[in-house]
Structure 1
Amino acid sequence: MLRRQDVGHRVVIRRIVGVRNGRPLYSDALGELVSVDETNLTVATKNGTIVVPLSEVHRAKRVPPQRRPTAADVVALELAADAAWPAPTRAKLGDWLLRSADGWTGRANSALPIGDPDRPLEAAIDAIEAWYAERGQPALVNTPLPLAAPVGAALDERGWTARPLTLLQTAPLVPLITGDEPGVSLAKAPGDDWLEIAQARKKTLPAAARHVLAGPPEVRFASVYAGDALIAIGRGAVVGDDRRWLHLGLIEVVPEHRRRGLARKVTAALAGWAAELGASDAFLQVEERNAAAVALYGTMGFTTHHSYLTREQPVSGARPDAAC
């Protein structure tokens, strides 16, 4: 039977759909698992999203992806993600990136080990630890999988811990666009009330956070109001040399207004803006354990391109909040 750690992966489910002459009739569903709960499996298939009651499941298992992304694909998308969420303090270790943003979010405060660090692996990890120690921060390393598996193995030897698995998901842009989205406004800079919701989501909002949020050349901040109250936000950044990618982040709806389709409206508005700039695809990051968000994005057409683990040096002290 499938479990929550299978969310985001390609699966096949054989379900019982009836009985004929005393024998069960079966039907197979192939697609990406978007959620698992006590009663149902939700799967995004090529014909749409279906919900399969556990009582109908005869057999279910994970299957290989249709096509594993190439190393070049993973590197290109990781660099796009870096451009979309730019840390104000940066350094290079050969091809590797070192990033710091006053501890605001894991993504902006972690090393990205892609390419050649221009030194032996153990020496590269020593340099990462020293760089973050100089800044009074715990060292973090984002390890895209399976590309950075050797780095992960070396960190295991040092006793580094891992935060929950994060899925980097992609979707074609055009299906996200539903036309004009009344009630969604897009601004080049976030207002104070927008930042208040972001701060509530991320717990803190240091000066470096504003650099991360407003750093990309092409960025928009989406807002939805009910009267004078801001009830939903989102941030979009168009990145890549060819402006291919729309990065979606901080899609947040205040609790009392959830389940009204506001996240979809915000996403559609940002997608429409990005398409005008020539973008063709969207991407986002979501923790695998966030079943509700994974399920929502699955219904929008997002599938997992690759995953990554944020590895953390085992030292005491405060740590940046989760990357998402």
Structure 2
Amino acid sequence: MLRQQDVGHRIVVRRIVGIREGRPLFSDALGELVELSETHLTLATAQGPLRVPVAQVHRAKRVPPTRRPTAAAVVALERAADEAWPAPIRGRLGDWLLRSAEGWTGRANSALPIGDPDRPLPAAVDAVERWYADQGQPAMINTPLPLAAPVGAELDDRGWGSRPPTLVQIAPLPLATPAPGVPRAGGGGAAAAVIEVATAPSDEWLAVAAGRKGGLPDAARHVLTAVDQVRFAHAYVDGTLVAIGRGAVTGQGRWLGLSLVEVLPPLRRQGLARRVIDTLAEWGASAGATHAFLQVEQHNAAAVALYRTLGFSTHHTYLTRVAPH
């Protein structure tokens, strides 16, 4: 059967749709798993969303994607993502990137092992460990899969741990309109919101980001603002900031990277996140971007479901690997 790790992946479900002459009738459905609970699962199929009660599931399993991205495509997207989230302290190990930002976020404090490290793999991992020791930080490596599978095998042998998988998802611009049966943006609190896009974050915006990320050291401000083309969305209701988001155009102007989309708890599930994303997507398209990307933890079923309605699908995944103490 399926697990939360399968959310965001392509699956096939054989479900019971009736009984004839005392025997069950089956129907198969193929699509991306966007939600999994104790009572039901939801598939994004070519015909639209399909909600299946768990009691009706006879068999279900993950299946390979229709087309895997090339290694070059994974490298290009990972480079664009690095440009969109720039660590203030950086180093190189051949083609590998070494990044440090006072421990603020895994992405800005991990090595990115794409390309040739210019030395044997065990020596490269040794060098990563030394570099992070010099920074006074635990060593971490982000391993895009399946591209960095050999690196992952080496880290397994060394006893490195792993954080939950992260999905790197992409969508063409403009973003998709909601599928049939999915509410459009603008209902509830979203209808009353005024969304402003600024070249710098306000103090209120930074406070919301700090609440989500557990603080905001000086290095975080560099990560957030040290991009040539970056915008910060502020959503207000009755003059109060209720939602934020960030967009950065990188990858030679092709990619809009979306991050830090956050809605204050009292106004969640009212369409505000969708409006923030749509607003940033409109800006990104006007700046020349043709595609958007974002990174979401695989187990965050609610976010994955939202992004699916906007046309996002998983390009590849990565694991953040952490050196043993």
TM (normalized to structure 2)?
0.93
Deviation at 1:176, TM superposition (A): 4.3
Deviation at 1:58? 2.2
On the 8 A contact 1:176/1:268 being kept in 2, the answer is: no
Match of 2:260 among 226, 250, 261: 250
- Count how many residue pairs are aligned between Structure 1 and Structure 2: 314
Partner residue in 2 for 1:122: 122
Deviations 1:246-286 (A, max 9, x none): 11100000000101010000000001111111212111111
Counterpart in 1 of 2:61? 61
Local SS of the residue matching 1:174: coil
Secondary structure of 1:44's partner?
Answer: strand
Residue in structure 1 matched with residue 180 of structure 2 by the alignment: none
2:311 paired residue number = 301
- Superposition deviation, residue 122 in structure 1: 1.1
Counterpart amino acid of residue 278 in structure 2? A
Q: Following superposition of structure 1 onto structure 2, how do residues 1-324 of structure 1 map, counting pairs within 5 Å?
A: 1-176=1-176, 183-241=194-252, 243-315=253-325
Does the 8 A contact of 2:175 with 2:281 survive in 1?
no
What SS class does the counterpart of residue 175 from structure 2 fall into? helix
Deviates more, 1:40-49 or 1:178-187: 178-187
The Cα shift of 1:179 comes to: 10
SS class of match (2:318): strand
Give, in angstroms, the shift of residue 21 of structure 1: 4.8
User: Structure 2 counterpart of 1:215, which letter?
Assistant: A
Contact 2:232 2:246 in 1 (8 A): yes
Runs of 5+ unmatched residues, structure 1: 316-324
8 Å CA contact 1:176–1:271 kept in 2: the answer is no
Deviation at 1:103, TM superposition (A): 0.8
Distance 1:195 1:220 in 2: 13
Which stretch shifts more, 259-268 or 226-235? 226-235
TM-aligned CA deviation for residue 23 of structure 1: 4.1
Give how far 1:57 is off. Answer: 1.6
Structure 2 contact 69–316 (Cα < 8 Å) conserved:
yes
1:170: Cα distance to partner? 1.0
Distance 2:172 2:50 in 1: 20
SS in 1 for 2:235: strand
Contact 1:42 1:49 in 2 (8 A): yes
- 1:128 partner amino acid: V
- Kindly indicate whether the alpha-carbon contact (under 8 Å) linking 2:185 and 2:275 is maintained by their aligned counterparts in 1: no
Aligned-residue offset at 1:20: 4.2
Cα distance in 2 for residues equivalent to 1:122 and 1:63? 33
User: 1:322 maps to which residue?
Assistant: none
Give CA-to-partner distance per residue, 1:2-61, whole Å, 9 cap, x none: 121111111111222234454433332211111110111111112222211112222211
| 8 Å CA contact retained: 2:34, 2:305 | yes
Stretch moving more, 169-178 or 262-271: 169-178
Structure 2: gaps of 5 or more residues: 178-183
Code of the residue aligned with 1:107 in structure 2: it is R
- Specify the code of the residue in structure 1 equivalent to 2:206: L
